[in-house]
A and B are shown apart, each in its own frame.
Chain A
Amino acid sequence: MSGLLGGMLHPLAMPAHVLALLAIGLLIGQHEQRFIPLAAFVAGLAAGLGALASAFATTAAANVLLVVTTVSALLVALAYPVPVLVSVPLVAIAGAALGVDSPPEAISIAVAIATLIGTGIGATLAVAIVAAGTGFLGRPWQQIGVRILGSWIAASAILVLALRFVRGQLL
């Protein structure tokens, strides 16, 4: 999966990334002011993809992303009004980890760069759409649905972290 379109679909093809995008999108969507955390996510994502393009890679990125996903999803489940000072670094770290954890499978530099740009666009669109959709869900039962979804994501991420620990992939 390479090229601009392949890059756009890349975050949606990885279950761990889908969980992260959902959790971050829901968290941003619960905010009154969505633009600032969304901008922080995009900035973190750009930094992560930029680092990847500069040949920086770390296997810890996937674990960092899982931890941030867990925290974000728990905050969604609790529906706790998170201050911007907390949510901005959280989503920025998520963006950076997601970027670094998205190495392109490309055979040329041009295709690799196109793939990374596509990944950035795809991930940003996914988070923006989830956040905007969440913002529209104003009725109490809809907000409850968002919280339940948050608890499902958090539970899944917690189990994955435990499994990665047992398999020696966490530390």
Chain B
Amino acid sequence: MPANDAILARALASHRHRRAVASAAPLLLVLVGTSAAAHTGSASGGFVGGFAHPIFGPDHVVAMVAVGLWGAFLGAPAIWLLPIVFPLVMAGGGVLGILGVPLPGVEIGIALSAVVLGLMVALAARPPLWVAAVLVGAFAIFHGHAHGAELPPGADVVAYSVGFVVATGLLHLAGIAFGLLARWPAGRLAVRAAGGAIALAGLAFLRGAG
């Protein structure tokens, strides 16, 4: 029964994801001062279900915001290239997840994305644009795979996908908006501190995923 196997595999992946996020919850409580809603995968379909899916996954939220922060920190053309590259590559990862193609270390990859991207911001790293694009794109595959694998079976396909992509994009834009503070010395410090906080959260996620 390949279909049942696929459903079981997705349920296990979702469980691992929940466990990883839950173990990082205490740190997130400190860092963002909000309840640590586990990335449970939305139970409902439609636009709202798709929109809520990335929003209620703290590990996704911090990584998406980090992409925006880093883009803003790097300036043009990274500020627009990264938010364009990420959704497209993430969709590729989502396709792998939807098709049930196994991707090893998804949870570790997602946690690492927060660590690495947070560190890039915290250290004010300015690698060549192609390096930044490849790095962000590689992590996007893990995020997309997790979203695709956890898609609820009865979801309204189009509305769910649009909601999911729009939420991801808005998280990027939130990161970019905050990252624009880096134009001022105090703001630059705040953005780098946010990057450090994201990296710490990523370490907690990594501990849970391991």
List residues of chain A with CB under 8 Å of any chain B CB. Answer: 15-16, 19, 74, 77, 144, 147-148, 150-152, 154-160, 162-167
**Between-chain CB contacts (< 8 Å), 9 pairs:** A16-B158, A144-B79, A154-B91, A156-B158, A156-B162, A159-B148, A159-B161, A163-B161, A167-B157
- Let me know if B157 and A163 touch, CB within 8 A: yes
8 shortest interchain CB distances as A-B pairs: A155-B91, A15-B158, A155-B87, A144-B80, A159-B161, A158-B91, A162-B95, A151-B84
Known A158-B91, A162-B95, A162-B148; judge A19-B162 contact (CB<8 A).
Answer: yes
Q: Which residue of B lies closest to A77 (CB)?
A: B84
Shortest distance from the beta carbon of A18 to any chain B beta carbon, whole Å? 8
Contacts of B141 in A (CB 8 A): none
- Interface contacts (Cβ under 8 Å), in number, total 78
Main secondary structure of the interface of B (DSSP, over half): helix
Q: How many residues of B contact A (CB 8 A)?
A: 28
B193 close to A (CB within 8 Å) = no
- The listed residue with most B CB atoms (<10 A of its CB), out of A16, A150, A160, is A160
- Let me know if B158 and A19 touch, CB within 8 A: yes
Contacts of B79 in A (CB 8 A): 144
Shortest distance from the beta carbon of A64 to any chain B beta carbon, whole Å? 15
Bound state CA distance, A157 and B158, in angstroms? 8
Shortest distance from the beta carbon of A68 to any chain B beta carbon, whole Å? 15
B25 close to A (CB within 8 Å) = no
Contacts of B162 in A (CB 8 A): 15, 19, 152, 156
- Give 17 A-B pairs besides A74-B88, A160-B158, A162-B98 with Cβ atoms closer than 8 angstroms: A15-B156, A16-B158, A147-B80, A148-B80, A151-B83, A151-B87, A155-B165, A156-B161, A158-B92, A159-B94, A162-B94, A162-B99, A163-B151, A163-B161, A165-B99, A166-B100, A167-B157
B166 close to A (CB within 8 Å) = yes
Contacts of B166 in A (CB 8 A): 152
- The listed residue with most B CB atoms (<10 A of its CB), out of A74, A150, A158, A160, is A158
Bound state CA distance, A159 and B164, in angstroms? 10
Bound state CA distance, A52 and B120, in angstroms? 55
List residues of chain B with CB under 8 Å of any chain A CB. Answer: 47, 79-80, 83-85, 87-88, 90-92, 94-95, 98-100, 148, 151, 156-159, 161-162, 164-166, 169
- Let me know if A152 and B165 touch, CB within 8 A: yes
- Let me know if B80 and A166 touch, CB within 8 A: no
Bound state CA distance, A155 and B99, in angstroms? 16
Contacts of A74 in B (CB 8 A): 88
Known A16-B158, A19-B162, A156-B161; judge A163-B87 contact (CB<8 A).
Answer: no
Contacts of B165 in A (CB 8 A): 152, 155-156, 159
Bound state CA distance, A132 and B165, in angstroms? 25
Contacts of A163 in B (CB 8 A): 98, 151, 157, 161
Shortest distance from the beta carbon of B129 to any chain A beta carbon, whole Å? 15
Bound state CA distance, A152 and B87, in angstroms? 6
